[in-house]
A and B are shown apart, each in its own frame.
Chain A
Amino acid sequence: MKIHLTSVFVDDQAKAEHFYTEILGFVKKHDVPVGGEDRWLTVVSPDEPDGTELLLEPAGHPAVKTYRDALVGDGIPLAQFAVDDVNAEYERLRGLGVRFTQEPLEMGPVTTAVFDDTCGNLIQIATKPQ
């Protein structure tokens, strides 16, 4: 079994597409209309174009708001991405106006930080395991 695709709910797919590609630097993999305004919209890391896809899923279901508001309130991230250098990424993203709820924090071998994806989620970045 493999983890081929995982998803985050996003308030607005167009906004999410912008943030996840232009700001975070992922590349779009699939973009297929699936009825109404909704799209099957996935992104991948430019380093691994055939790697795990992240589905930017419409947050239309009424349960999503309650679920996310509670988690975001407590600062709990809904996904984690690996980066080479958390501090460098923190500076880069902050320069682009990204809001962090947790600044880079060194905890033993791992450094993490948490930011707001502007689409309703908190995302954690962490140093890649060596």
Chain B
Amino acid sequence: MVVADDIFKALADPTRRTILDELAEKSGQTLFEICSRLSMKHRLGISRQAVSQHLAVLEAAGLVGTRREGRYKFHDLNTAPLRQIAERWLVSDTSRPEESTP
């Protein structure tokens, strides 16, 4: 179970939100494709290492999953953790989840 803090932290950064936008457009991207999209489509001057670090934060929050296929590694969008955010405030009083932060 991913802590809500990790999800909010991951979503707080505009570059990470752009990465999620691109993965929403097409799931299953290599690091190279993600870097290409950020630099060519979004004109973000960002190093591959920095993109890797952003992906690690997104992965820790459960928003991005990776899978190996043969020699390649692909990144997929996982929107399931976002449900925690939606349900936290939107569900009825009887099933309201516990507060995760004081």
Contact = CB atoms under 8 A, between A and B. Distances in A.
- Tell whether A and B belong to one assembly: yes
Interface of A: 69, 72-77, 101-103, 105, 107-108, 110, 112, 114, 122
A77 B32 CA distance: 8
A112 B32 CA distance: 12
A107 B36 contact: yes
Q: Is the interface of B mostly helix, strand, loop or mixed?
A: helix
Nearest to B68: A73
Nearest to A108: B40
Nearest to B51: A74
A75 B37 contact: no
B41 A69 contact: no
A94 to B, nearest CB: 16
Contacts, number: 47
B66 to A, nearest CB: 10
A73 B72 contact: yes
A114 B71 contact: no
Contact of B73 (A74, A77, A112): A74
Interface of B: 26, 29-33, 36-37, 40-41, 48, 71-73
Contacts of B71: 69, 72-73
A72 B72 contact: yes
Given A107-B41, A108-B40, A110-B40, A102 B29 contact: yes
Contacts of A108: 40-41
B41 A75 contact: no
A124 to B, nearest CB: 9
Given A74-B48, A75-B30, A114-B32, 11 more contacts: A72-B71, A73-B73, A74-B31, A75-B32, A75-B33, A75-B73, A102-B33, A105-B33, A107-B40, A108-B40, A112-B36
Nearest to A73: B73
A114 B40 contact: no
A74 B36 contact: no
A112 B72 CA distance: 18
Nearest to A112: B36
B84 to A, nearest CB: 30
- Most chain A C-beta atoms within 10 Å of own C-beta, residue among B32, B33, B36, B40: B32
B87 to A, nearest CB: 35
